[in-house]
Each structure stands twice: as structure tokens, then as C-alpha cells.
Structure 1
Amino acid sequence: MAKSKLQLELKKKTGFETLEKEAMLNLLRTGDQFQNRYGRLFREHGLTSSQYNVLRILRGEGKPLPSLEIADRMIQVVPAITGLIDRLEKQELVSRERCVEDRRVVYIEITPQGLKLLKQLDKPVDDLEKSLLGHLSQKELKELSRLLEKARTSV
């Protein structure tokens, strides 16, 4: 039986024990490679992927959000949302305001500087996404999304 592309990439002498294992390793390897490319792009602009994600969430919402709501919407789970927001605030990309009714709630708002940085990143992010996935057809992209969503239903 011919070796799979992943088997060749990993220089694995024998086949995978199960199709689930091969699919999982393919998913992890692809995710790692994509994350590295995004990380490089964001580092050029003084951000991490998680910081970019916070800014993207705030811009998309169009109004301040409680920090715990931001944490719930993150692509990757962030154990320390407060520290992440601290760093964004230090860069003057977000601002904080305590809720008057409930002092435990802190609202986070993207600043004009944060919006400007996201605007600068829009084209490079689009270009990166096209370079990573542009060789797939619209039908393949829809199927990929469908399969990934289906895979997450067991979580």
C-alpha cells in the first residue's frame, strides 16, 4: 500500500494504527503550520494571535464587551484573559471601564489605534488566508468547514 503524504512528511516507516489517528495528526500538523504563519504575520505588527483575536471580536461587535464575554468568543481558549487585555491596554489598543451597576464586570473597548492596526492587517490576513486555502474550491472549503464542525460535535 502506498504511503500517505503525512506518512512521508513525518518519515513514518509504517502506516498509522487507525484512520482516526492519521486524521488527527493531519489536523494537528496543518493547524500548527497555519498557526505559525499567522503568528509570524501578527508578530510583525507587535501582536500575538490571541491579541489579534480580541481586537477582531471587539471590532466585530462594534461596542464594548465584558472581558468574560470576550473570553467566551475566543478561537483558542485563553486561561488569563485579564493579562491578555492588560498587554493590549498597555499598547493603547483597548481601554477598560468598570460597570457602574456591578463593579466586578469590566467592559473592554477597542481604541481608534486598535481599529487602525486591524485595518492595516485586513489585507495581509486576507492574503495569508488565500495563500493557505486559496487552492481549494468553494465546494471543498464548504466541505472542509462542514467536516471540521462535525468533528467538534463530539467535544
Structure 2
Amino acid sequence: MYKDVAISFLQTAQWLNGNVSRELEPLDLTAQQLKVLSIVAQSENQQATVSQIKTQMFDPMSNVSRLLNKLMEKKLIMKVRNVEDQRLVHIQITTLGLESMCLGKELMDQGLSPMAKLDESEMETLSLLLKKMRS
């Protein structure tokens, strides 16, 4: 029984991820890049270290360095070296990065809109079950 549920769960996650990816395409952003922008934007002074970003990523296999380089190419973030310790690099979000993050979150919500088919009670139950699985 649990195998059928597990397959359905994975298919649904992949389907939702595909919806989000399609919505983010016009911004040329991935969900992981959007997550990095959100982490930096929500950090103190809208800047974070690479290790802070790594610890907050959901995907432990994410290549944060590659993600940061892509975001820098797009001028959504910038790297700033600490004056006192040149080894310490702070990642700061740019104005364009903030705008892209806000629009990206709206588009992501559109990609997740099928979840609106669930009523409040169903959403609460789903949330509790997902948390239980992760614990």
C-alpha cells in the first residue's frame, strides 16, 4: 500500500515542480535560484554568507557555488568581500534581484495554484502529514 502512496506522492511533487518551473521560465529563474534569492533577501541587511545559504537550502545536493555564479551573471546578486577578512564573502541581493524574487514568488504561487483545490482543513492535514514524514 505505502508503495502506491509513495509513487503518487513523488509523481505529484514532480508535477508541481514542473508547474513551478514553467511559470518561472519567463524570468529565466529556477526554483533553486529563487530560493537563494529569498534566503539572501530575508537575511540580516539582505546579505548572507555562502555557508548560511547552504544550510538553508532544502536540497543538500544543491551546488550553491554554481547557483551563485548564475545569479551574479544575471546581476541579481553580488559578492562583497569583508574588508577585515578577505576570505569572508557576503552575498548581497541587488534591486533587480529583489524585483525578480518578488515576481518569481508570484509566478511560483501560480504554479502551485492546484493546491487551492484543497480546503483549509485538507491543507492543514496535508501539512501535518508532511511534517510527520520529515520528522
| TM-score (norm: length of structure 2) | 0.88
Does residue 107 of the first structure (1) align with residue 90 of the second (2)? Answer: yes
Instruction: Return the match for 2:55 from 59, 66, 72.
Output: 72
Q: Please say if residues 33 and 71 of structure 2, whose CA atoms lie closer than 8 Å, have aligned partners that are also in contact.
A: yes
CA pair 81-151 structure 1, distance change in 2 beyond 3 A: same
Does residue 33 of the first structure (1) align with residue 15 of the second (2)? Answer: yes
Q: Displacement of 1:116 after TM fit? A: 1.2
Deviation string, structure 1 residues 75-130 (Cα, Å, up to 9, x no partner)? 3234421111011011100011123444433211110010111222343333333x
Q: Displacement of 1:37 after TM fit? A: 0.7
Structure with the greater relative contact order (CA < 8 A, sep ≥ 6): 1 or 2?
2
Deviation string, structure 1 residues 29-87 (Cα, Å, up to 9, x no partner)? 01100011111111221111111111122222252111111111113234421111011
Question: Secondary structure at 2:117's aligned position in 1?
Answer: coil
Q: Which has the higher helix share?
A: 2
Query: What's 1:94 paired with?
Result: 77
Unmatched runs of 5 consecutive residues or more in structure 2: none
Query: What's 1:126 paired with?
Result: 109
Query: What's 1:138 paired with?
Result: 120
Greater mean alpha carbon deviation, residues 40-49 or residues 101-110:
101-110
Instruction: Return the match for 1:51 from 30, 33, 48.
Output: 33
Aligned positions, number: 134
Amino acid at match of 1:77: P
Superposed CA RMSD in Å reads: 1.7
- Seq. identity, %: 27
CA pair 23-102 structure 1, distance change in 2 beyond 3 A: farther
Q: Please say if residues 71 and 78 of structure 1, whose CA atoms lie closer than 8 Å, have aligned partners that are also in contact.
A: no
Query: Whose Rg is larger?
Result: 1
Find the aligned partners of 1:123 and 1:48 in 2 and give their Cα distance. 14
| TM-score (norm: length of structure 1) | 0.78
Question: Secondary structure at 1:50's aligned position in 2?
Answer: helix
Does residue 22 of the first structure (1) align with residue 36 of the second (2)? Answer: no
Unmatched runs of 5 consecutive residues or more in structure 1: 1-18
